Amino acid sequence: MSSGADAAHMPPDSETKTPERLRRRAGRLLSGVSAQSDRLTNDGLARVNARKWHYAVLASLQEFGPGSQATLSRRTGIYRSDMVSVLNELAERGFVERTLDPDDRRRNVITITAQGRRQLRRLDKILDDLQDELLSPLSPTERDQFVGLLTRLLDHHTQRAPHPPASRP
């Protein structure tokens, strides 16, 4: 009707509108929503001086108990080179304790503290709220659908990774 496909003169919204081709691409949609989600969670966690990796480590410790840094690395997907500073931050704040493993003196044993458990509960609450905000346009049923689809996609692409890079840091 009114939206022109001609290229000669400039229709009013060819200035700002995103091409349909791009809007339909799943990859682009994904990175868009993911970027928005990242922004949301980063901002939300920054308000309590935390980062998303903090949550991953604390949750892992709570669920599986103490472990070495390499173990935590494998459980959370954080590279073991980056794990160092994450644990430094968590230890500074008193959420974990780093002690030498007497049975294997290469290892550090990381343990969650009472404060760490409290912090984990707080972060859980925050992330719940942020997830609510992110998924606010969807009905409860749709949210479940969405999470279900994402889970299947992620599982499929991480079990036997097509390319080796992403599975085991």
DSSP 163: S
Q: Give the C-alpha separation, 7 to 157, whole Å.
A: 41
Subset of 21-50 contacting DNA (CB under 7 A)? 31, 35, 39, 42
Q: Give the C-alpha separation, 147 to 40, whole Å.
A: 18
Q: Give the C-alpha separation, 91 to 110, whole Å.
A: 9
- Segment contacting its own copies (CB under 8 A): 56-64, 84-92, 99-107? 56-64
Among 64, 82, 99, 115, binds its own copies (CB under 8 A): 64
Among 12, 35, 94, 129, binds its own copies (CB under 8 A): 35
Q: Output 88 or 145, the one with its CB closest to DNA.
A: 88
How many CB atoms neighbour CB 119 within 10 A?
22
Residue ranges that bind DNA, judged by CB under 7 A: 31, 35, 39, 42, 51-52, 68-71, 73, 79-84, 87, 98, 104-108, 165-166, 169
